[in-house]
Amino acid sequence: MPCSSPEHARPLRDYITRYADHPNQLKYNGHVFASTFAGDTCTFGSGSAVEGWKSQFIDQLTGNNKVHFVPAFFVDPAKFKEFGDVIDGVYNWNSGWPVELTAEKATSLLQPLGGTLAGSLDSPVINDLVGSIQPDKVWLGGLSDMPDSEKTYMAAVSPWFFTHYGANSYNKNVRIPQQLYHIYL
């Protein structure tokens, strides 16, 4: 979805206003709960992403359409405070699976134990990475550095993760079984 001009924000606002009063709309403290996948570089024609989201999205949604905005912006958590006037929290999209666990890393962890990647997906070494809450702690730390410490943190939960991209795009196939007993609620 393009996001370089003010007009590109209109469909997002239209979705919010169309469904704001729907009985199935999630609301938080009386505000429409809204999230994104990415968008941290969207300027909507403004000088910065912060200005764009504020002027073309947040400030234009008022009354029953006011949002509790918890986007999945892919930025360093130390930069969350730059979005302080825009976001009400963050959605850590990548917390649902171990993005740092590559085939190479898994192989290097398993080899000293005499294991191989094939057939070792239930290894305690792999499970420590799969169920790690370390990425969550980093994002929570970024939120705690913001002026308003009452920000929402939304973690991803994925009991199964699969991607298939052909050679003409990301060229990867990934299948990561998750273990729900690692989720701490």
Residue 131 pLDDT more than 50? yes
Assign 117 a pLDDT band (cuts: 50, 70, 90). low
Q: Between residues 167 and 55, which one has the greater pLDDT?
A: 55
* pLDDT tens digits for range 75-102: 999 999 999 999 999 999 888 766 666 6
Close Cβ partners of 72 (under 8 Å, ≥ 6 residues apart) = 35, 36, 37, 38, 39, 90, 91, 92, 93
Give the lowest-confidence range in 52-56, 120-124, 142-146, 179-183: 179-183
